[in-house]
Amino acid sequence: MKISYHGHSVVKIETNGKTILIDPFITGNELTDLKASDQTPDVILLTHGHNDHVGDTIDIAKESNPLIVAPNELAVYLGWQGLNVHGMNIGGKNEFDFGTVKFTQAFHSSSYTTDENEIIYTGMPAGILFTAEGKTIYHAGDTSLFGDMELIGKRHAIDVAFLPIGDNFTMGPEDAAIAVEMLNPKLVVPVHYDTFPPIRQNPHNFKDLVTSHKVNIMKAGESIEL
Enumerate the β-bridge partners of residue 207.
none
CATH annotation of 2-221: 3.60.15.10
Residue 160: predicted pLDDT: 98
Prediction pTM value: 0.97
H/E stretch holding 132: strand 126-132
| Orientation of helix 57-64 relative to helix 72-80, angle to 10° | 60
Q: How far apart are CA 131 and CA 119, in angstroms?
A: 33
Evaluate whether 81 touches 57 at the Cβ level (below 8 Å): no
Distance of CA 194 to the CA centre of its chain: 16
The confidence score (pLDDT) of residue 114 equals 93
Burial of 117 (0-12, 13-18, 19+ CB in 10 A): exposed
- Cβ-based burial of 209 (10 A; exposed 0-12, middle 13-18, buried ≥19): middle
Residuewise pLDDT in 10s, the chain (226 residues) = 999 999 999 999 999 999 999 999 999 999 999 999 999 999 999 999 999 999 999 999 999 999 999 999 999 999 999 999 999 999 999 999 999 999 999 999 999 999 999 999 999 999 999 999 999 999 999 999 999 999 999 999 999 999 999 999 999 999 999 999 999 999 999 999 999 999 999 999 999 999 999 999 999 999 999 9
Q: Structural domain boundaries of the chain?
A: 2-221
Please give the pLDDT value at position 30.
96
Long-range CB contact pairs, 53-58, < 8 A, 24+: 53/9, 53/23, 53/25, 53/141, 53/142, 54/23, 54/25, 54/112, 55/10, 55/23, 55/24, 55/25, 55/26, 55/27, 55/28, 55/29, 56/24, 56/25, 56/26, 56/27, 57/24, 57/83, 58/83
Provide the pLDDT for residue 67: 98
In total, the chain counts a number of residues equal to 226
Task: Using CA atoms of 49, 190, 145, 214 in order, give the dihedral in degrees to the nearest 10.
Answer: 140
